[in-house]
Structure 1
Amino acid sequence: MSLLLSRRAAAKEDAPDVPPEFRCPITLDMMRDPVVGATGITYDRAAIEAWLLVRCTCPVSHGELRADDLISNHTLRRLIQAWCTANRSRGVERVPTPRANATPAHAADAVAEVESAASAGNAERCATAARAVRRLAKEAGRTRRCLASAGAARALAKAFTSFSDAAAASNVLEDVLAALVLVMPMDEEAIAVVGSSSASVAWLITAAANGDPRRRLQAVVVLREIVTCACNGGGAGVIDLSANVVAVVEVVVRTIRGSMCPQATKACLVAAYHLARADDGTATLLVAAGLVSVLIELLVDANRSTAETALAALDAALASSDGRARVRADALAVPVLVKKMFRVSDTATELVVSSLWRICRKCLDDDEDGTTAAARRLPVLEALQVGALQKLVLLLQVGCREETKEKATELLRLMVRYQARGECIDTMDFRGLKRRDNAILIR
């Protein structure tokens, strides 16, 4: 084994320099699938397609360039492969020949087969057709665009709904779901097709709760789309989650708590945000399921993207009296929020201020649920003790949006009022601050 490793290391050290004409102008790496556009410049397909997602110009000439205009440079690819073969003894691996992209006609035929099989009620045939669409969707971006133009998402959504009532259709639903996720984003019509079927939503909930990790991720991604559409008035008003809302809330909170994978956590955080904003009843269900505690614990070590979404979901949940009561009783909440004020992003800072504002001020419905002045005073004193006053002053000095400025100013007035009652500590050292279970410390 050591001899083999030493030979590989020697071959790597002896590897020849890649000729400049074989390198992609964007990545500067050797091209694996060279393509040329109308501007005459050759790029690696993956690099230029990623570039054209946000721009419509050639990176080198700055001329107009579209992804549909890219043509494979077969001559250059063969030269690269020949060079790799000639230098194989020096540790260079041969570039494989890429698979040809599907044509629009090929994509349309694959989508039509899904529609035909679903209409005929043939589960086995539909599963085979869905797998074919999935294989196409795994290819380059042009193939995915062809599938999108052919209406793949709508066809798969209709197929999913047509088999969701069948007790023995689990296999075809899994194949259709796997293909559906790959042809995202779903348009509003496709989301409405799945979301309007209680049976389809119930199957997704079951898969999200009990499936294998890959299936759970696919299910929560589709649930996120349904929840987002429904809570924002989309889906032509045909999406009604009332029959499944309790189960949706439970699976969303459970997935966030379980930390299955970053993608699933992010999808459920987005769903939780929209559910919390939908109405007070749904926000109460989220709080009862433990969303507030889960979000606070998630924020301790969350990365930037996760922290922003978690803060947005928390701020939405705090619009309800139950959410505010729960977070006021959480000893970890205020210290974590203050700690995150300037450590993530400007968006996160605004969300932190909004959350603290909701926690500390007196809201119209606080007295209705028995909230006392002492319960509201406690988070103000906690915020003072962990340095919130200094941070709010700094925020007003550096500037922020007008809405955030008003909330920060109101928080400062509250803190100045209670400042004499609590010792103001200008430090972010939380090593001695314990979690609610008095066992886990913030590091």
Structure 2
Amino acid sequence: MESEGGEGSTVVRTLIDTVNEITLINDFRRSHKRECQNVIRRAKLLLPLFEEVKDSDTSLPGTAVSVFELLEKALQEAKLLLQLCRDGSKLYLVLESESVLNSFYAVAEHMDKALDGMPWDVLGVSDEVREQVELLHAQIKRAKGRADTQDMELLVDVMLVLSQKEDRISDVAVLQRLADKLQLKTRAELKAEAHAVHLLIKDRAPEVDETLEQMCILLRKLRNLTDLGNSDSESAEVDKLSSSAMASVEKPGSPIVPDDFRCPISLELMRDPVIVATGQTYERASIERWLEGHRTCPKTRAVLPHTILTPNYVLRSLIEQWCETNGIDILRKASSNGVSRPNGTDFLAKDRTAVAVLIERLCSGQVDLQRAAAGELRSLAKQSNENRACIAEAGAIPHLVSLLATQDSRTQEHAVTALLNLSIHEGNKGAIVHAGAIPSIVDVLKHGSMEARENAAAALFSLSVVDEYKMTIGASGAIPALVGLLRHGNARGKKDAATALFNLSIYQGNKPRAVRAGAVEPLMSLLMDPTSGMLDEALAILAILATHQEGRAAIGNADAVPVLVELIKSGSSRNKENAAAILLALSNSDGMHLLRARRLGIEAPLLELTACGTARAKRKATGLLELIETQGTW
């Protein structure tokens, strides 16, 4: 058996090798960069200690060997974490950000524990090295467990993408932003991510948890966002890997055709969707038969100013992707009959004259011409980013903004929706805001038709993606109007209002605005209404508002505790997590909320949550149980 001195020299050499390996790990994924950099910095600061001990002729006593073995364990854990953050699934790192963050905290705690027992008197190292390590030790003790702001924003984007149950143009903006931030846009990037997801599922088989299901949903959405095609082997491999990953979690059953994919005339899945002058979409064959004897839009009954049919390439692409995912070949038959898609850019991006004509009609002062032109711009802006850029460059935005004040409700609907579609292009957001659109959009949100109000809310959400605009929109009076739509809107309007409120409330200054506008009451109503279909959204917003003092007071006054306790007992994984977060915030503010929760039997569900919940849910449940222990008997 090796002597103490031999054990000491071995562990010191291992520590030096481990630090050198850690310093070579770089090029981290988008999330947890700050934690990775902190780990590498701490390892580098420890290296001089290990090198001086190695160069010393003094044999290490057993106490020092034990400390160095603890440090070795902590650094080995750190190395694995760094490798995960460099090579692992980007989607996993975001979805399990709290779990990964807790692993970094555990490494820091292990370092702290080891350094607490460092026997400096017997090590014989220089004062400079000792001072450096003791300074590092003090920094580790002061370090607070707080997620990086950018990591929190990533998680918010992911939750927004997962919460959207329809493929609307405003939802695509969030997905595009997520793809940009995570660098999951190219074939090579998606291939690497699909491979990482596939390996993770294989490693966890046969167990498939909620995180893996969410990763596969996100992977599908990101793959659909990028036109991979089937033109080369790399594209085929991405499809194969991602399809294999998704097949591991998808459940069998006959697919239900989404309503938006059905023709309003025939009610059949559309093969060749086209847009008429009112902005409605139909199957080409069905609307052509209709137009043989009519001059109106079948859905709106409005008279058509012209009978030009514009291919709806965005919807066609979504239908194609849905068919591919569900093994339906109906569109392949349509393609073989001569229906084809454009090569990346449609006619409008090449024909700026057409845009100029439409803008002239916007300025004509003739209601019919303005309505038709705004409707065509709305449809064209929905089709592609090239169109959005072209329309903005031609100067249409100020004229569309001016039409928001029109008395013609249909023109107003077209104008606000056209601005929504244009805002999807990142370069257009500033132009829309600088054209003075926000006050006008808020006015539409207050007084427009239900369709106009829905799309006004969606437009504010799209613009609020830019952080500085969150403050501008919040100060414009938008939040009370959004709360009004949340109270009295239809199902789609409430969902648009909730999405916008969620994003705006990320900015600290908007939280009290939402509370003072009365957001808590309708959110609680949605929470208690099983038919609303908005439980997830309401809980997510309340969890954000609960981080502000006024929000906690309003939620507490709304008698939220019984609902939260019931959700912790029987809600979905994500709902248990948010409910626990809200209850913890309330309990930290006022112990009476926790006392009431205990009387409702919260302790057993919390214990179960610490064992089976998500990483964040475990953390919140543990916090609540610690408060209960502090509270004592009751």
Bucket of the pairwise TM-score, normalised by the shorter protein:
0.5 to 0.7
Q: Match for residue 250 of structure 1? A: 480
**Match status 1:327 vs 2:555:** yes
8 Å CA contact 1:160–1:176 kept in 2: the answer is no
Paired residue secondary structure (1:224): helix
Match of 1:382 among 577, 596, 617: 596
Q: Deviations over 1:23-73 (max 9, x none)?
A: xx98899977668xxxxxxxxx99984464379789379xxxxx9x98534
- CA 1:194–1:178 in structure 2 vs 1: closer, same or farther (change >3 Å)? same
**Match status 1:130 vs 2:359:** no
**Match status 1:278 vs 2:278:** no
- CA 1:411–1:261 in structure 2 vs 1: closer, same or farther (change >3 Å)? same
Q: Match for residue 572 of structure 2? A: 345
Paired residue secondary structure (2:550): helix
- CA 1:110–1:416 in structure 2 vs 1: closer, same or farther (change >3 Å)? farther
Cα deviation for residue 131 of structure 1 reads 2.1
Q: Match for residue 310 of structure 1? A: 538
Q: Match for residue 524 of structure 2? A: 296
Query: d(CA) in 1 for partners of 2:626 and 2:255?
Result: 53
**Match status 1:175 vs 2:438:** no
Superposed counterparts of 1:14-413, under 5 Å: 49-50=317-318, 52-53=320-321, 59=327, 72-74=335-337, 105-108=346-349, 113-115=354-356, 117-118=358-359, 122-123=363-364, 124=366, 127-134=371-378, 145=383, 147-151=384-388, 155=392, 159-165=396-402, 169=406, 171=408, 172-181=411-420, 183=421, 186-198=424-436, 200-227=437-464, 229-230=465-466, 233=467, 239=469, 241-242=471-472, 245-258=475-488, 260-279=489-508, 281-302=509-530, 306-330=534-558, 332-362=559-589, 376-401=590-615, 403-413=616-626
Cα deviation for residue 287 of structure 1 reads 0.9
Cα deviation for residue 107 of structure 1 reads 3.7
Percent identity between matched residues is: 20
Q: Which runs of no fewer than 5 residues in structure 2 stay unpaired?
A: 1-253, 273-312
Query: d(CA) in 1 for partners of 2:471 and 2:375?
Result: 29
8 Å CA contact 1:311–1:351 kept in 2: the answer is yes
Query: d(CA) in 1 for partners of 2:571 and 2:606?
Result: 15
8 Å CA contact 1:34–1:73 kept in 2: the answer is no
Larger-Rg structure = 2
Q: Deviations over 1:411-443 (max 9, x none)?
A: 01222444632xxxxxxxxxxxxxxxxxxxxxx
Cα deviation for residue 105 of structure 1 reads 4.6
Opposite residue 329 of structure 1, the aligned amino acid is N
Q: Match for residue 38 of structure 1? A: none
Query: d(CA) in 2 for partners of 1:153 and 1:337?
Result: 49
8 Å CA contact 1:102–1:136 kept in 2: the answer is no
Q: Which runs of no fewer than 5 residues in structure 1 stay unpaired?
A: 1-24, 36-44, 62-66, 76-98, 138-143, 363-375, 422-443
8 Å CA contact 2:401–2:415 kept in 1: the answer is no
Query: d(CA) in 1 for partners of 2:536 and 2:255?
Result: 31
- CA 1:102–1:319 in structure 2 vs 1: closer, same or farther (change >3 Å)? same
8 Å CA contact 2:611–2:618 kept in 1: the answer is no
Query: d(CA) in 2 for partners of 1:309 and 1:329?
Result: 20
Q: Deviations over 1:179-216 (max 9, x none)?
A: 455x4781222333223343x11111111111121221
8 Å CA contact 2:470–2:504 kept in 1: the answer is no
- Equivalenced residues, count: 327
Q: Deviations over 1:380-407 (max 9, x none)?
A: 1121122221211111232421x33222
Opposite residue 341 of structure 1, the aligned amino acid is I
Cα deviation for residue 162 of structure 1 reads 3.4
Query: d(CA) in 1 for partners of 2:534 and 2:394?
Result: 29
Q: Match for residue 428 of structure 1? A: none
Cα deviation for residue 333 of structure 1 reads 0.6
Q: Match for residue 16 of structure 1? A: none
8 Å CA contact 1:396–1:405 kept in 2: the answer is yes
Query: d(CA) in 2 for partners of 1:383 and 1:205?
Result: 40
- CA 1:184–1:265 in structure 2 vs 1: closer, same or farther (change >3 Å)? farther
- CA 1:106–1:31 in structure 2 vs 1: closer, same or farther (change >3 Å)? same
Opposite residue 628 of structure 2, the aligned amino acid is M
| TM-score, structure 1 as length reference | 0.61
Opposite residue 72 of structure 1, the aligned amino acid is S
Opposite residue 440 of structure 2, the aligned amino acid is W
Paired residue secondary structure (2:438): helix
Query: d(CA) in 2 for partners of 1:162 and 1:47?
Result: 27
Query: d(CA) in 2 for partners of 1:148 and 1:55?
Result: 24
Query: d(CA) in 2 for partners of 1:272 and 1:157?
Result: 32
